[in-house]
Amino acid sequence: MVVVLCALSSPGTVDATPVAAPDAGRGAGSVTQAYLVDATPGARVALRDAAGAVVGSGTVDPLGSFLVRDLAPGGGYRFDVSGRPGNVFAVLDGTTPPPEQLYRQTLSPGLNYIRVRDGITLAATVRLPVGKTMADGPFPTVIEYSGYQIAAPHDFLLGALGTLAQRPDPLAPAISTMFGGIVAPTAGFATVNVQMRGSGCSGGAFDLFDLPTVYDGYDAIETVARQPWVSRHKVGMVGVSFSGISQIAVAGTRPPGLAAIAPMSITDDLYSTGFPGGIFNTGFADSWLRERQDHARPAPGGGQPYARELVRRGDRRCATNQRLRLQTQDIEQLIEQNPTRTPALFDHRAPATWASKITVPVFLAGALQDEQTGPQWTSVIDRFRDNPDVWIKAVNGAHFDSADPQILGPWNEFLNLFVAHRVPRDNPALRALAPVLYEATTGTPGRPLVASRFPDARSWSAARAAFGRDPRIQVFFGSGTDSTIPGVGAGNLSAPWSAGFTSWPPSGVGAGQRWALDSDGRLTSRPGPASRVEFRPDPRLRPGGTLDVVGPSQLPWKALPPYNWAPIPGRSGVGFITAPQTSDVVAVGPASLDLRLRSSAPDTDLQATISEVRPDGRETYVTSGYLRASLRAVDGDATLLNPTRDWVGPRPLEPGFQTVRIALNPIAYPFRAGSRIRVTVTAPGGDRTSWRFDTPATRGRVVDTVALGAGGSTLALPIVPGLRSAVPLGACDGLRGQPCRPYARAFNGG
C-alpha cells in the first residue's frame, strides 16, 4: 500500500500524519464486462479503455468491488481508483476460446469450484450414479446449470424428506433441481450441478442469462468433459425451467464437449414471460425476479441457505465469491427503464435467439398451459429446422407436466442413446423413483414409467433407429383424463392419446380456419351485415387468477386444484360462440384473434380466451392471449395465424376502427363433435393460475368497441385437416392445467 508522507492542512503548516492511498485492487475482463475487486470501499473509480477514454465510473462498493457492463471487447482496459492506475486487462468477446489449460481442472465427488475464463469460480457439486463409486467409472455424465440452490452438497432425497418433515436442511439442493439431484443419478448418470455466477457459492454478479453466464456454461462443459471419470469425454445437459432455459444458450455456443441437451419447461423469450402482450406480469414473473434478486445478496447476511451456512462454517472460497454481489443489477429498475422490448437487453438472453445455432441432438418438452414460464415456448420449435436430431414433446398441463411419465421414459432413452451412447435398458430404480416424485410434487402418480421401449435391441444403432421412429413433434392430448390406469383418478399425469407432426404448426394447417365475430355473440363462417358491440373492460371485476398463487407453488400441479374460474360479469367483456361442431376439429399451433377495434382511450389492455363449451353445459379453458393495444404493430414475419411483433415503438390508438391482432398462446386441443368453440374478450386477468397483469385501473370508464359481421373481426384457429380425437369426450374436471366451469353467456349472447 502506498503511503502519502505529507499533506497541506493550512498555509505554512505541514501535517506529517501518514495517509493511506486507496488500494487500486485488481481488475479483470469478462465477456463484454469488466470487474474490479479488493479495492478500497468508497473510493472513486473510473474504467478507461485502450485510448484512455472513461467508459465507466462510480464508487467502489462496501465489499471493495465495481463492475461495468456492455463493453466493446478488446485489450488495454484498466481501472483507476482515486486517480491511481490499476492493472491492464482485456474485455473478452466470448467467441474466442480461452487457453486450453483452463480446462485442466480436477473435479471430485462433492462440492468443487470450477474456474471460468474471466477468473470467476463457480460452485459445482459432483454426484455419481446411485450406488456407484469412482472405481466403477467412467460414467456417462450430465450437467444441470441453474441459479437455484443447485450446488448445495448434501443428499437431495434426504433433503426433500427433511423439508416434508418441516426440518429443512440448508445444505440440501432445492426441489427444483431434481433432475441433477436425483433423477439423472438414478438413471445411471453422473451429474454435475453447476451454480450460476452471482448465486449460491459461485463468484461474480448475477446477470440473468447475460453473456458471461452463457459462456460460463461453455467453460463448465469443457472442464467436466475432460475429467477422467467422464465416459467418451462428452456430457449432456438436463433440467426443467431455470436449468432448462440455460441449456439453449449454452448449447448455442457449441462447446465441443457437449453431446446433447434435454431442456424442459422453457420460455422462448424473457419478454414474453415477463411482459405477455407487452403488459408487465406482476404475478409469477415479478415474484420470480424478486426471488432472484434476493438470492443474489451476499452471504452470510443474505443469499441462498447453503451459501449462508457454508460461509458460517468457514468455506473461504464461498466467502470470497460473495465480493461482487453488490454489483448485481437492480432488476426492478431495469424493468422500469425498459417497458418495451429493448433488443440490446433481451435478444442475447432469448432462447429463440440461440436455438438456431444448436447442432447437437435436442429433446425438448413443455406444457401448453404452463403457469410459470408460459406456453409460448413452442415459438422456438421452428428455430431447430436445420437440426435433424430434434424431438419435441408437448402436453396439456402445468409447469411440471413436461416431466410426466409419458415424457420421462423417452427422456431416459434419449440420454442413454445420445450421451451414454448405449442401448437403453430397463431401470427398476428409475421406475420405482418416478411415482414417489410424482406423488410428492403433484399428489398423483400417473401411469407407470416405461424406462425403455426397446431394452432388447441388439445394438446402439438398432436402438437409435427405433427411437428415431418417434415423430419430430409429439402432442399428448387430454392429460388428466386417462381412465385406463387402475386405481388412479381424474387429474392423473397421463394422456389417453397423442398425435405426431413434422412441423409447427403442422403441415396442412395453412392459414387456419376462420370464423367471424357476429351479432348476438355468434362465431360463424357466414358473417351477417356489419354491426358492432361495446364493452367496458375492468380488471377489478374478476379474481386476479384462477388460483390464489403468484409465485412458485405446487398447487397448480395437483390432480384437482381448487380453481375459481369466474365468468365475465356485466358488460366488462364480450363472448362469441360457434354452433355445435358436426365433427371433431383438432387445433394445433399458433392462433390469432383479429379485432377491428375502437376505444375511448388512447390505449387499452386486452385478453382473448379460447374455450370449449361442451354438450353438458360445462366450459373448458383452452388458451389465452394478451395485448397492450399501443403495441399492435406486427412485423415482417407475421402470418395469418401468428401476428409476431418486435414489441418496440408503441403508438396510441387512432380515432375510429383499426386492426388489433391478439396472438393467442399455442393451442393443441380437440374440440369434439357437439361442442361449441368460444372466444371471450376482456381486460387481462381471471383466466390463468399464476400470471397477473399491470393493467391500469379503468373503473369501467373505458369503452372498447368491436366491429362485427362482414368486414369486421375474425378468429383464426390452426385446424389440422382430417385429424380426429382418438377417445370420446370425457369428464370436464381433471383435465390438467385446464379449469372447468358451468357455461354462462356474456351480455352480448356469446
Check whether residue 473 and residue 552 sit in a common domain: no
- Mean pLDDT, residues 281-295: 95
Looking at the domain assignment, is residue 23 inside a domain? yes
Check whether residue 145 and residue 293 sit in a common domain: yes
Q: Over 631-683, what HEC string results?
A: HCCCCCCCCCCCCCCCCCCCCCCCCCCEEEEEEEEEEEEEECCCCEEEEEEEC
Looking at the domain assignment, is residue 38 inside a domain? yes
Check whether residue 619 and residue 736 sit in a common domain: yes
**Short-list 119, 108, 143, CA closest to 225:** 143
- Mean pLDDT, residues 399-424: 97
Check whether residue 529 and residue 489 sit in a common domain: no
- Mean pLDDT, residues 71-94: 97
Looking at the domain assignment, is residue 60 inside a domain? yes
Report the interhelical angle of 242-252 vs 211-225 (nearest 10°).
Answer: 80
Looking at the domain assignment, is residue 750 inside a domain? no
Check whether residue 668 and residue 688 sit in a common domain: yes
Report the interhelical angle of 405-418 vs 428-442 (nearest 10°).
Answer: 140
Which of 448, 476, 501 is the endpoint of a domain?
A: 501
Which of 476, 501, 526 is the endpoint of a domain?
A: 501
Query: What does the alpha-carbon distance between residue 206 and residue 227 come to, in Å, rounded to a whole number?
Result: 27
Check whether residue 177 and residue 315 sit in a common domain: yes
Which of 91, 126, 153 is the endpoint of a domain?
A: 91
pLDDT band at 7 (very low <50, low <70, confident <90, very high): very low
Check whether residue 338 and residue 371 sit in a common domain: yes
Looking at the domain assignment, is residue 506 inside a domain? no
The pLDDT value recorded for residue 336 is 85
pTM of the model: 0.95
Looking at the domain assignment, is residue 24 inside a domain? yes
In this structure, the strands spanning 230-240 and 190-195 are unpaired
**Short-list 218, 205, 223, CA closest to 126:** 223
Query: What does the alpha-carbon distance between residue 354 and residue 257 come to, in Å, rounded to a whole number?
Result: 18
The pLDDT value recorded for residue 484 is 81
Instruction: To the nearest 10°, report the CA torsion of 96, 101, 106, 111.
Output: -40
Q: In the chain, how many domains are there?
A: 3
Check whether residue 567 and residue 698 sit in a common domain: yes
Q: Please determine, for residue 485, whether its predicted confidence score (pLDDT) is greater than 90.
A: no
3-state secondary structure of 179: helix
pLDDT digits (tens, 9 = 90+) for 87-113: 999 999 999 999 999 999 999 999 999
Distance of CA 48 to the CA centre of its chain: 37
Query: What does the alpha-carbon distance between residue 109 and residue 105 come to, in Å, rounded to a whole number?
Result: 14
Check whether residue 252 and residue 332 sit in a common domain: yes
Task: Provide the terminal-to-terminal Cα distance of the chain, rounded to the nearest Å.
Answer: 78
The answer to whether the CB of 294 falls within 8 A of the CB of 30 is no
68: domain CATH number?
2.60.40
Q: What percent of the chain has pLDDT over 70?
A: 97
478: domain CATH number?
3.40.50.1820
Looking at the domain assignment, is residue 508 inside a domain? no
Helix and strand numbers (H, E) in the chain are 15, 33
Looking at the domain assignment, is residue 518 inside a domain? yes
Which residues constitute the domain of residue 539? Answer: 513-742
Check whether residue 352 and residue 309 sit in a common domain: yes
Check whether residue 197 and residue 309 sit in a common domain: yes
pLDDT digits (tens, 9 = 90+) for 351-401: 999 999 999 999 999 999 999 999 999 999 999 999 999 999 999 999 999
Classify the C-alpha dihedral 559-563-568-573 as positive or negative: negative
Helix, strand, coil shares of the chain as percentages rounded to 5? 25, 30, 50
671: domain CATH number?
2.60.120.260
Check whether residue 165 and residue 82 sit in a common domain: no
